[in-house]
Structure formats: structure tokens, C-alpha cells
Amino acid sequence: MSRPVRHLVALLGVLFACACEQQQPPAPAPGPQTPAALARHYFGSPADGKLHVYFFDVGQGDAALIISPTGRTVLVDAGPAAAGSHLANRLPELLTDKLDLVVLTHPRPDHYSGLAAAVGAVGARKLLEPQHPETPADYDALLTSLGSTGVEIFSPAPSPSAPNEPLSLPLGGDAVLTVLWPRAPTEPLLTGESASEANSIVLRLTYKATTVLLTGDAREQTESHLLAREMPVRATLLKVGAHGAGSASSAAFLAAVHPRAAIISADVANTPDKAVLNRLESVKARVFRTDRDGEVHAVSDGQQFTLTTQRLPAGAQPATGNVFVGLDNTPVATAAVQPASGRVPSKGEANPTRLATAGEAGKAQTGTKSDIDLEAGSAATPKATSVTKPGKDERASPAASGKMQTYVASRKSKLFHVPSCPGAKQIKPANLVTFKTRAEAMQHNEPARDCKP
């Protein structure tokens, strides 16, 4: 073959190859990824031996992140739906792993609507919620969705073996999160026009001599109830209840808490009640507000809290800190408190005017019988379970862990098991039903023979 002919053949080959490339359809653009397909990233710093509490600026709502001295993490509420994207971006900056625990204080949208986005971004192992008898449909759907992904859901009920002890959750490094209210079924829920708020989960976070009291949307009715039963409420920092509404933070309650500083989560369009601000001033509490100061970060070394804010007051230096010394052992005198039931304790009963000292409060939180281990069951939690609530249809609520023994059964069987039974592990998530006590299980089913529950 002559050289001109060889060149012509080579040129025709190149043209043919180009034509084939042009005829191939372009590769389809990648479609949007679902949250489950997105890889989670955590950028937080390792545990530094201090207690950190972040009070997020979520507008008219509540959201706070606790990071214990050993790195345990607890998200208390998740704000309104509009806060979801903020939390989905902010939480990965602070976490090194998924959340150990989420606490939903009560079923109001400004406390739970941002949770789906937050957990979708970082994940969660367990969820504590008050299990009120009447809850919105979207709240039930949220719990069902979280339960189906393996989040273990439990209630703040005291252990049947220690009904008088508060439910406590050790966070490591001497940090303990104690549930002061509600205590159903040991004590009935409070009733009234604002029952949902009155039965908000009230938490007391203690790290050595420093304490934070988080009251959700608890009202004066709840405050009186806690004081009448001598619950340990004294705290270095107070997360002010109900966003600073006048129906909370009574004078008697603030006198008993005697906080060094108070944090109010509020929106610029719904600022705290002036009467509440005056009552906080009367107990000499320094007030921090997310509507004015932005996110508030509190750090404790066990002896004192240092607070910094996202936005600094006019004229303040960037390095300015606000230091608040922890509790001492001197009781604070309080006004007489009448119980929520309207009955004043008689002689010989608990005195509602005496406040527990820091040492006594610590004893109230260290009982082992009602402790919940945040690590227990986290490696293999049930996919979804159901629990029957008074006046409501069944909904997802995975079994409680730790010392609170629960029992499970299949909707298609008359046998019940403990969750560790081989038979329990064969139950499909859609058929799984959970009973809080053995007596409750016996009302509907018979004990299985494989593990003799």
C-alpha cells in the first residue's frame, strides 16, 4: 500500500472514531442523594475533660447540646422546623460521633420540628420523650420514623425497683443528667389547660460543684410541684422555662434555684416577659438571651462555668468571659410553697421550704438502681417497636434499656419475651410490641419458654 493511501486510511479511521464518540449519549447527571445515602461527617474536637453546654439560637424554640467531660453527647430539643438546617450544619462541627441521646421535653413543634434534619445529619442512638397521652400526628410520625432507623426510644419513668429515686443518666467524668419530672406512672401527670407544658421533661445536669437546670416549657404549676416534693433544683445556670413567659419562673422557684446566670431561648419577635426579667434581677442572676446574644456556650471545669456569646455587647472585648462559681453547701431560704395539689404537707412530711444542699443534691442523683447506661444496647438496638399509650393508638417506641426491664411480643403471637431472647430477635419490626412491665405483658400474652421472661 502506498504512503498516500495509508495516510488516507488512517484519516478515515480517526474520523470514524470521532463520529462514534459524538453519537454516544451523554452520561446522566447524578440525581439528588437521599439523606440515608449521604455520608456523615463529624468535625468536633476530642473530649477535653470539661463539661460543655451549647444553647443554640433557633429563634422561637429550644435546642441545647451537652458534651460531657468524657465526650458523651445529649441534644435537648431541636427547635422549630426552620432550625433544622441550622442544626444539620452546626452539630457536625461539634460532634465526633452520632448523638448518644436526644431528649424531647414535650410535644410542641418549636421543640421537635427540627429534629428530623438534625438526626438525619449526625445520627442518634437513643431518644427520651415524656410519652404524653395526647400527641400531634406529626410528632407520632417523627418517633415512628426515628424508631424504624434504630433509634431506641424510652420514657422517663422511674425504675419499678426504685420508684422513689429519680431517673439518672451518667454521662461520664462525674457528669450526671437527672430527670426531675415527669415521673409517671409512679406519680400521675399534672392536669390542666397547659398539661403538655406542665409535664415537660425537667433535667438537672450536674458536674462536680456546677449544675444546669433545664426546664423545657414547664410552668409555675410544675415549679410548685417540684418544690413541694423537695426535688433538688438549685443550679449554677438556669435554662429559663417557656422562653421567658410570665406563666413560668415564679418568684418562689427562682429563689430556690438561686441561679448565678440564666439563659433564655427566644425570638426577636417574642421577647421575654418583663416581669420574668425583673424576677431574675431580684435573685441577681445574669441574663443571657439568644435573641440578643446569639448562641451561648457554657464551659465548666467542675468548679465554675465560663459563658461566651456569639454576639458581644457594645464595647465588650472579644476575650471577655463571664465566670460563675459553682454551688456551695449553704441552703438558700425560700418562701413557703404550696403543692400543686393544693394540700400543704402536714407535720412530719417533707418540708417544701428547705432546699437540698449541693452535697444532698449529689446524693439524689447518684442512685444506681434507676441509672440508664447510654452505652447499653447502642450496638444493636431494635429497629422499631410499639407501646400502647392511654387514649392513643399504638406507635413506635423501642424498648427501654439499662436497668429498666421491658418485655416484647409479636402482634401475631401470644408469647412475650425479654428483648435478649432468641425468639425476640426473630420478631419483625412491623409486628413488634413492647410492654413496660411483666404484669402488663401478662395481661395480653404468655411467657415464652425459650428464656422464661
316 occurs within a structural domain: yes
Among residues 365, 390, 421, the one where a domain terminates is 365
CB 210 within 8 A of CB 304: yes
297 and 425 inside one domain: no
103 occurs within a structural domain: yes
69 occurs within a structural domain: yes
pLDDT digits (tens, 9 = 90+) for 189-236: 999 888 999 999 999 999 999 999 999 999 999 999 999 999 999 999
102 and 150 inside one domain: yes
141 and 78 inside one domain: yes
Give the separation between CA 143 and CA 328, rounded to whole angstroms: 40
Sheet of 415-417: strand order equals: 432-435, 407-410, 415-417, 446-447
294 and 442 inside one domain: no
95 and 216 inside one domain: yes
Q: Is the bond preceding 182 in cis, omega lying within 30 degrees of 0? A: yes
CB 104 within 8 A of CB 127: yes
More confident residue, 447 or 271: 271
Among residues 315, 350, 365, the one where a domain terminates is 365
389 occurs within a structural domain: no
- Where do the DSSP E strands lie in 312-372? 322-325
Name beta bridge partners: 101: 74, 126
Amino acid (one-letter) located at 397: S
426 and 339 inside one domain: no
Give the separation between CA 268 and CA 249, rounded to whole angstroms: 20
pLDDT digits (tens, 9 = 90+) for 368-420: 334 566 765 433 333 333 333 434 333 333 333 334 567 788 877 778 778 87
436 and 337 inside one domain: no
CB 105 within 8 A of CB 62: yes
Give the separation between CA 141 and CA 338, rounded to whole angstroms: 39
- pLDDT mean over 297-306: 96
Structural domain boundaries enclosing 437: 405-447
381 occurs within a structural domain: no
| Residues ≥6 apart with Cβ < 8 Å to 170 | 176, 371, 373, 374
- CATH number of the domain bearing residue 62: 3.60.15.10
Binned at pLDDT 50, 70 and 90, residue 330 comes out as very low
Amino acid (one-letter) located at 31: G
323 and 430 inside one domain: no
Count of the separate structural domains present in the chain:
2
220 occurs within a structural domain: yes
Grid cell listed for 304: 465554675
360 and 433 inside one domain: no
Per-residue buried b or exposed e for 352-375, using 16+ beta carbons within 10 Å of the residue's own CB: bbebbbbeebbebbebeebbbebe
Give the separation between CA 321 and CA 324, rounded to whole angstroms: 10
Grid cell listed for 131: 410519652
Grid cell listed for 34: 437521599
297 and 430 inside one domain: no
34 occurs within a structural domain: no
Name beta bridge partners: 288: 263
195 and 260 inside one domain: yes
- pLDDT mean over 9-20: 53
Does the pLDDT value for residue 58 go beyond 80?
A: yes
17 occurs within a structural domain: no
pLDDT digits (tens, 9 = 90+) for 62-114: 999 999 999 999 999 999 999 999 999 999 999 999 999 999 999 999 999 99
Give the separation between CA 426 and CA 411, rounded to whole angstroms: 13
121 and 179 inside one domain: yes
Helix (H) or strand (E) holding 159: none
